[in-house]
Structure 1
Amino acid sequence: MTDSETTPTDEISLLDIAVVIAENWLVLVIAPLLAGLIAYGILSVTTPRVYDSEALVQMNSTDAALLRSARVLNPAILNSTYLDGYAGSLSRARQQLVDNVLEVGAEGDTGLYRIRTSFDSPEEARDLLQRIINSLIANSTPTTTEAELLDIRLQQARTAIVELEESLGRLNRLTEELENGTALNSATLGELGQSIVTLVDNIERRHAEVFQLQESLQGSISSQHVVQEPTLPDSPRSRGLLMRAILIILGVGFVTLIAVFIREGLRSASRNAGQADKINRIRRAFWLKPIGGR
């Protein structure tokens, strides 16, 4: 006999692997599928359905920051069903709202912001978003003190416009007199022309300031800025249950495959007298009775 015929080998061929899989294919298929089905059922029951309501509002970055403030959110949360789950703790409810429920994102450079709220009821999701938008509109209007300061600035800007326009009128009359005079000084006319341009620029800036102040007094956000009213979602957000169930099936299948090969390895080793002692040492390590009672 040759050495290869008398010496046992521990190598596993592809044919051995195919035999093990063929003999245990039923377990390898049923166990993962059953585990995935059970997991999907448990996840379906335990994972809550979440509905998203969306709205589009025309505003700037300052208003978007104001939307997340306690000044806007506290009135929206009070007397709403959202507060019920926080034992009346307004600060906790607001923090949870900002972290996990409320999303605010700019729609490119359009000046529009998409606002989204999520809730376990479509009606409550829309109601919460509507409350937030209403609170934003109400709180974008300045307080009494802020309105007084804005009104003072508005009067100052209007006064400055009147003075600048009077100065511009005097310069225009002076320019006409010089042009109609017998002695025409081109340098003087050039300086006057530059002064007129500067005055006109200042007047335009003051008019823009007046417009901004008037807008601030009226409130930067109104119902007209709500481009899309809060939607009533007709289906819940995807919960990813199928993907999680598939991952569980793959995981259980891998563990089952390893268990099948370990069992087959132990079975083969138990038939080899030289490997029996090693198997018994493994069994003793797990407090199992050794084979043969040794």
Structure 2
Amino acid sequence: MAQDERIENGEISLLDLLVIIAEHWLVLVVVPLLIGVLAFGMVSMQPHSYRSEAVLTLPAAVISPLGDTEPGLSITQDTNTGTTQLVLAGPDPDVTMRLTAIISGIELAIEAGELPDARGELLDQIAVLDQSMALRDGIIARITTALSDLERASPFDTQAYAAASSALEELLTGRQDAQVLAAELRNELAAIPTEIVVSAPTNASLVGRSPLLMALLATLGAGFVLLIAVFMRAGFRNAAQDEDGQEKLDRIKNALLLRKTKSRNAA
């Protein structure tokens, strides 16, 4: 009797809510679980995609042709760090092994001279400059000796001494320029990592949401919707027990075009 009075007054206690949940607990538990299992099965049957990524010191332009020959491989240049990110995606979880093989092929191609090597190019330039400076040192030593001989010679050959001095000055200037350039190249070489791999290929990761997560979300969503539906059904049933509540239900049905009825008061 007290419960009917609370319902008529539009009041529902916590105990009333628990009674509604207890009367429908089987539906509230079984149906969401079934929907969760169905969602898990549907997501599990869909084709998966895995990905692995690595970071190299090589410019993207050097290895960009690989993007045309390796399916699922994307190459991105990081302008801030000067590194290149390789991302390999595919339906099989062996993408890490595939990406490792690709990087090994790049290293072999660099060693064979098939791909440009920044460190190798700098080392070649430094070697050429060192050889040029060594050659100049030999010529400078001979010209210095010749100048000493000219200074002691009698009569003194002014033209020969002037020509030798001019050649010596030119050689010294050229050697100094080569020495400065070689120092700059060595500094640039020191800034380049000795290994081309900055970050090794990561373990294969599943792209997208996991089936377990989707099943959990489907279960929770279905449970919430069913809980709201149970409360609404109980509320409609309680409202239909009195004349004022039935009048309101008729107005709702009319507003939703469910059926056209005349209000009880009008009748």
Same topology, TM > 0.5: yes
The letter for the 2-side match of 1:77 is G
Instruction: Give runs of aligned pairs for residues 206-221 of structure 1, distance below 5 A.
Output: 206=182, 209=185
Query: Deviation at 1:247?
Result: 1.6
Distance between the aligned counterparts of 1:120 and 1:78, measured in 2? 18
Question: Is the counterpart of residue 259 in structure 1 residue 229 in structure 2?
Answer: yes
Does the 8 Å CA contact 1:32/1:253 hold for their aligned counterparts? yes
- Aligned partner (choices 120, 130, 145) of residue 101 of structure 2: 130
Question: Which has the higher Rg, Structure 1 or Structure 2?
Answer: 2
Q: Deviation string for 1:197-248 (max 9, x for gaps)?
A: xxxxx979946846977x9xxxx899x86699979x7x87485221221122
Seen in structure 2, the aligned counterparts of structure 1 residues 34 and 162 have a Cα distance that, compared at 3 Å, is same
Q: CA deviation at 1:140?
A: 3.3
How far off its partner does 1:135 sit?
3.8
Q: How far apart are the structure 2 equivalents of 1:33 and 1:286?
A: 32
Measured in 2, the distance between the counterparts of 1:253 and 1:37 equals: 13
Q: Deviations over 1:159-203 (max 9, x none)?
A: 457778989xx9xxxxxxxxxxxxxxxxxxxxxxxxxxxxxxx97
Structure 2: tracts of 5 or more residues without a match: 145-177
Task: Tell whether 2:247 aligns with 1:247.
Answer: no
CA deviation after TM superposition for structure 1 residue 34, in Å: 1.0
Residues 161 and 204 (structure 1), Cα distance of their counterparts in 2 relative to 1, 3 Å cut: farther
CA distance in 2, matches of 1:7, 1:252: 27
What is the 5 A alignment of 1:11-30? 11-30=11-30
Match of 2:117 among 124, 141, 162: 141
Go from structure 1 to structure 2 and tell me whether the alpha carbon gap of 1:30 and 1:70 turns closer, same or farther (over 3 Å shift): farther
Change beyond 3 A, Cα 1:293–1:39: farther
Q: How do residues 1-294 of structure 1 correspond to structure 2 at under 5 angstroms?
A: 8-50=8-50, 52=52, 60=57, 63=58, 66=59, 69-74=60-65, 76-80=66-70, 82=71, 97-98=74-75, 117-123=88-94, 126-135=97-106, 137=110, 138-141=114-117, 154-160=127-133, 206=182, 209=185, 237=206, 240-289=210-259
In the aligned structure 1, how far is the partner of 2:129 from the partner of 2:180?
15
Give the TM-score normalised by the residue count of structure 1: 0.53
The 8 Å contact of residues 161 and 206 in structure 1, kept in 2 or not, is answered as no
CA distance in 1, matches of 2:244, 2:33: 39
Report percent identity of matched pairs: 30
User: Would the alpha carbon gap of residues 133 and 283 (structure 1) be closer, same or farther in structure 2, given more than 3 Å must change?
Assistant: farther
Which consecutive unaligned segments of at least 5 residues does structure 1 have?
84-93, 107-112, 171-201
How many residue pairs match? The answer is 214
TM-score by length of 2: 0.58
Structure 1 residue ranges, 4+ long, deviating more than 4 angstroms after superposition: 113-116, 122-125, 149-154, 160-167, 202-208, 210-213, 224-231, 290-294
Instruction: Judge conservation of contact 2:35–2:222 (CA < 8 Å) in 1.
Output: yes
